[in-house]
């Protein structure tokens, strides 16, 4: 939270204003909770073989899916399949908060990310 506050302060100094600051806060807290839930799942299952498989094949591949999530869904490498990735929807929600532009409706992004959080934490 301290690092996030420092980044926010520097960003406020460098940029005159955000387009939708409440969306930035919503998606920041959602991301924090989703990644925390995934970390708890990986920690609980570390001792058994399925838990290690979850950690290796899901959590370790999550950063690599960011490569597709930073592109627009209108670009050919990403395609329409990225519109259902929670990582893409997180980033698209942040994009909407900062710039006011998004590829997916922010309410849809919020609903899909919230559903993913419910599955990950439930």
d(CA 39, CA 49): 16
Q: Helices marked H in the chain — which ranges?
A: 2-14, 21-44, 49-54, 62-69, 86-99, 106-121
Token digits for 65?
């899916």
Weakly modelled stretches of the chain, pLDDT under 70: 14-17, 45-83
pTM over 0.85: no
What is the structure's pLDDT at 107?
94
Q: What pLDDT, on the 0 to 100 scale, is given for residue 121?
A: 84
**Alpha-carbon span 122 to 117, nearest angstrom:** 8
């Amino acid at each position: 939270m301290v690092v996030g506050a420092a980044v926010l302060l520097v960003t406020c100094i460098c940029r005159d204003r955000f387009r939708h600051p409440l969306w930035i806060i919503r998606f920041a807290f959602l991301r924090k909770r989703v990644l925390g839930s995934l970390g708890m799942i990986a920690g609980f299952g570390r001792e058994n073989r399925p838990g290690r498989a979850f950690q290796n094949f899901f959590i370790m591949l999550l950063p690599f899916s960011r490569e597709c999530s930073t592109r627009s869904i209108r670009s050919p490498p990403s395609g329409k399949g990225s519109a259902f990735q929670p990582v893409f929807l997180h980033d698209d929600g942040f994009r909407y908060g900062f710039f006011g532009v998004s590829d997916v409706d922010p309410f849809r992004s919020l609903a899909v990310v919230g559903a993913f959080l419910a599955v990950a934490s439930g």
